[in-house]
Amino acid sequence: MIMKKFFVTTPIYYVNDKPHVGSTYTTVAADVLARYHRSRGDRTLFSTGVDENSQKNVQAMEKSGETDLQAYLDRMSDTWKTTWEELGIVFDTFVRTTEPRHLAAVSRFWNAVKQSGDIYESVYEGLYCVGCEGFKTETETVDGKCPLHPNSELSPVKEKNYFFRASAYREALLNHLDENSQFVQPESRRNEIRNYITEHFTDFSISREAKQVSAGIPVPEDSNQRIYVWFDALINYLTVTGYGTDDKMCAEWWPADIHLIGKDILKFHCALWPAMLMSAAKNDPLLRDENGNPKLPTRVFAHGYFTINGQKISKSLGNAIDPRALVPTYGFDAVRYFMLREIPFGEDGDFSESRLTERYTHDLANTLGNLLQRTIAMSRKYFDGKVPPSFSHEAKYTFADEAGIRAIRNAVDTNMEACRFDLALEAIWSGVDGAHGLLHANKFIEDTQPFKLQKTDPTATGAILYSILEYLRIISLLLAPFMPDVSERMLKQLGQNTDSNLSWGGLKPGTELPEPVVLFKMLNN
């Protein structure tokens, strides 16, 4: 059987600062999708990385008092990699836009676009936002300021640059949107990009004069110009597939199945990037399918903005939260859980540590952790430290069954496909279609009172405890993409070394149960 491939990406992040909860949100979501697809047996490629060719990186280095740009880039790149590792994020490849494989990809791509006749020289005159690393038209400013970076002055620019003939692909882009309803998600973003392409999509300046910038890749055959940072950055999605270095690998992995991005970079990913690919595909067979059509990303999903306690994340306000600072208190799994449970992916949302504390205490410690600990403790006490026999008993003594588990699994699968991580987790905690969720399990124990039944009907006690233990085994597998460490610790406490069986009845009676360990420590308020 040929395994399905799944290729997921995050944006590449500027290294002018360390990660905050906004960039973490995107990267955790990508990690969850990658883990989910690996668990299904799909061949999976998960890429992330950093953009080192931005002028804002140079400005950040100068502000820090450092003078060695390469040393600064090395240090900051390592900070990003380390942060992801500390948050349980397992990527397959981490790209830096200064490394040789990326330079090879950019050179090949530039030449393919040039051969299509879509690169020409002209003079650009207008305003440039270093914060966005983008040129701004009058309609994109508010009171002469960039709405995303109102505290930064827009720089007037007049240069002779290379331009990309993006406007030639306006109709093709609109047709692609019409024919591929899943290309841009959620739906509100699809409407937004359609309006942008129709009313504002024009030719792009794709280079800067070398004397004006300190970073960037030289234009092939013109060392006086540097490639515009966004033109080179988008190509990273090809770089990680081997484009420019390994044709066989590229043919295997491109196109991406999903780009996860923030909504602030929507136009680059859903207008400029597919137009670039359409152009390059004319002269590069690697970028065309068997029918000669350009191979475009299957989906681009743009999530909303994070605020911090109701305020926009801002350096000037000093409210950016380093996600690593939360780990000692809550553990990285709880941070991951909160981010994806609290806010519907695609909508704006607020990050509040008080809400994190509430979720941690109620959902994780009091519901999941307490359920696991008390069920194992009773099983050890009443059944000689082992999983009870799976007694056939009255339905009132069985918490879950195959049909109920199947309903929850189906709900998780449906919502994962739609990137509704909040609803996938909601199905696990609250149940679906009559199937019980975690929130019902502790009440089930209180209602059936196995600790009392043991004296009069030990088989009923065994039926109750086995059904909850088996339920927890399957739940631990469903939680694995979201909370990999918690899932692994749950399985160990259930006497399972490795497990991937999502069908009911996988937990063998008589399995030794270790001494229960606290899954989520109590917070010191």
What 3-state class would DSSP assign to 492?
Answer: helix
Segment 38-47 shows an average pLDDT of 96
Closest CA to 257 of 295, 228, 305, 289: 295
Is the confidence at residue 13, as pLDDT, over 70?
yes
Residues in the chain: 525
Closest CA to 272 of 178, 167, 191, 177: 167
Segment 228-235 shows an average pLDDT of 96
Is the confidence at residue 524, as pLDDT, over 80?
no
Both tokens assigned to 63: 């502000």
Cβ-defined contacts of 431-435 (< 8 Å, 24+): 431/404, 432/407, 432/408, 433/407, 434/404, 434/407, 435/400, 435/403, 435/404, 435/405, 435/407, 435/408
Is the confidence at residue 228, as pLDDT, over 80?
yes
pLDDT digits (tens, 9 = 90+) for 145-188: 776 666 666 777 778 899 999 999 999 999 999 999 999 999 99
pLDDT digits (tens, 9 = 90+) for 297-337: 999 999 988 777 766 666 555 667 888 999 999 999 999 99
pTM over 0.85: yes
CATH architecture entry for 353-493: Orthogonal Bundle (1.10)
CATH superfamily of 5-324: HUPs (3.40.50.620)
Is the confidence at residue 1, as pLDDT, over 70?
no
Is the confidence at residue 142, as pLDDT, over 70?
no
pLDDT digits (tens, 9 = 90+) for 441-487: 999 999 999 999 999 999 999 999 999 999 999 999 999 999 999 99
Domain boundaries, given as residue ranges, for the chain: 5-324, 353-493
CA–CA separation, 268 vs 259, rounded Å?
12
pLDDT digits (tens, 9 = 90+) for 408-451: 999 999 999 999 999 999 999 999 988 899 999 999 999 999 99
pLDDT digits (tens, 9 = 90+) for 365-389: 999 999 999 999 999 999 999 999 8
pLDDT at 525: 60
What mean pLDDT value characterizes the chain? 91
The HSE-up count of residue 294 (CA atoms within 13 Å, CB side) is 19
